[in-house]
A and B are shown apart, each in its own frame.
Chain A
Amino acid sequence: MALTPPSERLWWNEPIHKSELVWVTVAFLWGLVMFFTMIFWHVYGQQNLSNEAYRIEPARFEQKVEAMVAKYKIGEEGSSGIPVVKPPAGSDVYMLGRTFQWYPVLELEKGKNYRLHLSSLDVQHGFSLQPTNINLQIHPHYEMVITVTPTETGDFGVICNEFCGIGHHQMLGKIRVK
């Protein structure tokens, strides 16, 4: 019994039943398969996060965002007054999270590459692009850069999915793909 000491004092000398050996081997090999699947996807898959990130002061990141907004602003989103920005295809685009806002609204072109820079000015936020379902964690003091290629047109919601304070559920941004 599992509640009593092993009946064989030298339990480590007992032979292992074949069925157990088979299962341990199969489970181990499956672990290897899963391990190599991740590496395989880095080589052949399309959806991998970059390792590109920089330490940055929040104020400095805000300057970069504002510079982009000043240069490429094309309007404002509805009643909220958040600027809509249309940077050229292939360029560096910025979005910042702060309580309780994603800023600005980005307008991108389908099928084009963009280097998307993300950071937070205060606490951690969760960048959740829906419904395509891309979820990233955004930290203050770190600037994350990913190259993204929109494949569908439409309005995509950017939801904050990391609790950031009492107004967390009001934090909704937008990426528009044309």
Chain B
Amino acid sequence: MAADTEFRICPTTGLRVHLPAEALIKANAVVAVVFLAIGGLFGLLVALTRWQAIHLLPADLFYLVLTGHGANVLVFWIVFFEMAVLYFASAVVLSSRLAMPAWGWAQFVLMLVGALIANVSVLQGDSTVMFTSYVPLKAAPHFYLGLIIFAVGALIGCCVFFGTLVVAKEDKTYEGSLPLVSFGALVAAIIAVFTLAAGAVILIPTFLWSVGYIGHIDPLVYKVVWWGFGHSSQQINVSAHVAIWYAIAAIVFGAKPISEKVSRMAYFFYILFLQLASAHHLLVEPGISSEWKIFNTSYAMYLAVLGSMIHGMTVPGAIEAAQRQKGYVNGAFEWLRKAPWDNPAFSGMFLSLIFFGFLGGITGVILGTEQLNILMHNTMYVPGHFHGTVVAGTTLAFMAITYVLVPLIFRREIMFPTMAKWQPYLFGFGAAGLSLFMMGAGTLGVSRRHWDNTFADAPMSFSYPEGATLMMALNGISALVASLGGLMYIVNIVCSVLWGKPVAAAAPAKPAPAPAPAAISQYGSAGTMQLPGTYILVAVFFVSFILYYYVNWKYLAAVWPLK
């Protein structure tokens, strides 16, 4: 047992916070935000270059910055923040001591070193291979080495998390089963282990190939295994941000899952079926059979998608139930209208839920449909999809929980509450715009990862349909809005952490939500609640899904016959 001196009692929540865990959460969160700032700036430069009227960067710099954008936001920002989430969901949520804090610091140092090495190699200009680094395109050896070191660090972080769960169980810091949020984090960590293993399996040989020890790496094998790492790591994000949705619903509303069983089962589907996700990056590749493609892209009949669709109902359902309990019972939507829309933790979380479902989720299924992929492979539709999932979904959810973590873990008040109030809207709608307009351009055939939409330097001439230029300009404007939102987040969080007013023992005015009133957590599972608002939301989602799905088949039917 750890000595009590290593703990403090959180005055707002009553949670016992293990100080070494707190230090690690702080370190990982701060570094995460720094990488978000770097990667976000790169992203803005990319968007301004593809806005043809501005066409900011020269070609070589554009491709370099695009590589850096992917690595910094898709991996470094997100995984560092996830480490903070893992330590929070284990040590803090369970009021336990953190297992092996020294190893926790090893995680932090390795990931930081790895991320720095990879960034240096990208900025040196000899590793412009895009985030996917498809062989036989070759980066400098230290690009792969940096990623490998980073992955080893992340793996250690997962082990510390697992260790903490064991410690908490041994020390009996909680009764019964793991809380749902910790369960979600556990799912994320289990997927992370698979994912990082896939990363090691492919990146280590690729590193050896880049230094000349291995002669040839099959490009198709590389892609199959690489996406076991590349896409599965996005499933870690899904698990983590769904856990955050539940956490914020619990913190802001005291919401209880409608049914523990259903929510946990939905998480379980992620573990069972997401590892096959690499398949939908290979739908238009040679040498892979249709049977393999169909089986694997339908995630063994869409069971993982089913998991997300279930969360899509249970999260708003839990909030609606909690709000109705509080007396917001008029009409279908009073509970939602009178939700705390000026609380950035809630607004960020709810926008994340909506955008992830409608923009990221539906389009992900469309992209992952074998024949429909012919229409979209490597067009702007692809970044459109994942800006819906990773930016408007994961990143926005991570931002939302930060507004809770700063008072709770850093014990500082948010310095600019008004800025915090607007930030999720600017960032969320900016990111949603990015997603939508990229998909619009993609539907018109515009290529992703491409410096010049006018093909001025090409030996022949070609021009995209009129609308494409407009779409890419709107995309640039959305990028400006999202960047402003991102900047507001970074400035606010950095200032609050450095110079914010320390949270007093009984903090009066906190922008972060009040702790959950404990008394109202006795409804839900038994099944007496009616949730008409949630049913309507889910119905709207489902109808949009079906319509959009078949619209795309109609587009496909107009394409030249292929067989």
Contact = CB atoms under 8 A, between A and B. Distances in A.
A and B from one assembly? yes
A1 B458 contact: no
Contacts of B460: 77-78, 80, 82, 157, 172-174
A147 B563 CA distance: 5
A39 B294 contact: yes
B374 interface: yes
Contact of B455 (A5, A144, A172): A172
* Chain B interface SS verdict (over half): loop
B458 A2 contact: no
Interface string A23-62: 1101110111011011101100111111101010000000
Given A19-B531, A23-B310, A49-B374, A2 B180 contact: yes
Contact of A20 (B137, B314, B560): B314
A132 B375 CA distance: 9
B477 interface: no
A164 interface: yes
Given A1-B254, A163-B63, A166-B128, A16 B181 contact: no
B527 A18 contact: yes
Contacts of A30: 302, 542, 545-546
Interface in B530-546: 531, 535, 538, 542, 545-546
B378 A128 contact: yes
B257 interface: yes
B560 A23 contact: no
Contacts of A19: 313, 317, 531, 535
Interface residues of B, number: 107
B445 interface: yes
Interface residues of A, number: 94
A11 B294 contact: no
Contact of B562 (A47, A77, A141): A47
Contacts of B283: 49
Q: Which 7 A-B pairs have the closest CB atoms?
A: A31-B302, A157-B462, A80-B459, A144-B286, A53-B286, A161-B447, A172-B458
10 contacts: A1-B516, A5-B177, A47-B562, A48-B290, A53-B287, A134-B375, A135-B378, A151-B561, A160-B447, A172-B458
Interface of B: 59-60, 63, 93, 128-130, 134, 136-137, 174-181, 218-220, 246-247, 249-251, 254-262, 282-290, 294, 298, 301-303, 305-306, 309-310, 313-314, 317-318, 365, 369-371, 373-379, 444-445, 447-452, 455, 457-460, 462, 464-465, 516, 521-522, 525-527, 529, 531, 535, 538, 542, 545-546, 549, 553, 555-557, 559-563
